[in-house]
Copies of this chain bind each other. A is one copy, B any other.
Amino acid sequence: MTNPPPSPATRVVGSSDFDAPIDSRYFEDYHVGAVYEYGYVSVSDDDIITFARAFDPQPFHVDRDAALAGPFAGLIASGFHTNALFMRLFADHFLSHVASLGSPGCDELRWTTPVRPGDTLRLRTRIIEVRPSNSKPDRGLVRTTGDMINQNEDVVMSLTIVNLLRRRPS
């Protein structure tokens, strides 16, 4: 996989970010209502085809000619590829590098606009719930809505994801 590059080549592109750097960010640093934006990732036709050959080999993801004659009139990225690009921006910029304890899941995952070769995407996150764990005092739950947005301001993918994060050591 050649995309995205192996280091955070992306950056904060919104008007604000967490106060705490990602290497010393804990549950307490996530606040309901906070909105942040990070970018940009792009996808080439080779990226789209490489991912889809491995994981979603439908004609409109892997075959340029078949895709032209198909329901989207051209090659589009697998929705699962777009999800993976979401996760890359989320892991590089939003999710603490020291406090992440994994995720139980996502809800309301929607693919609302096709992602085409050359598209440039950014991530907008909005924290919608923070709650200390009832059973485990060392951690809390953060629920976040993520939108991937293209260069035309179309939302191409959205979801709500729950993450478990350690509380700041006292």
A residues with a Cβ closer than 8 A to B are 1, 3-4, 6, 50-51, 53-60, 71-72, 78-80, 83-85, 87-88, 91-92, 95, 97, 100-112, 114
A-B contact pairs, 5 of them (CB 8 A): A55-B85, A57-B88, A58-B91, A58-B100, A102-B114
Contact A58:B95 (CB < 8 A) given known A80-B84, A83-B83 = yes
The residue in chain B whose Cβ has the minimal distance to the Cβ of A109 is B106
Give how many copies assemble into the complex. Answer: 2
The residue in chain B whose Cβ has the minimal distance to the Cβ of A78 is B87
Complex Cα gap A101–B85 (Å): 22
Complex Cα gap A79–B60 (Å): 24
Please give the distance in Å from A116's CB to the nearest CB on chain B: 13
Please give the distance in Å from A102's CB to the nearest CB on chain B: 7
Contacts A79-B103, A80-B80 known; list 13 others, CB within 8 Å.
A1-B1, A1-B50, A57-B88, A57-B91, A59-B97, A71-B102, A72-B102, A78-B87, A79-B105, A105-B108, A105-B110, A106-B106, A107-B109
Q: Are B100 and A111 in contact (CB-based, < 8 A)?
A: no
Please give the distance in Å from A62's CB to the nearest CB on chain B: 10
Please give the distance in Å from A8's CB to the nearest CB on chain B: 9
The residue in chain B whose Cβ has the minimal distance to the Cβ of A92 is B57
Q: Are A71 and B101 in contact (CB-based, < 8 A)?
A: yes
Question: Which residues of chain B are within 8 angstroms of A78 by Cβ–Cβ distance?
Answer: 87
Complex Cα gap A107–B106 (Å): 7
Complex Cα gap A60–B52 (Å): 25
Please give the distance in Å from A146's CB to the nearest CB on chain B: 12
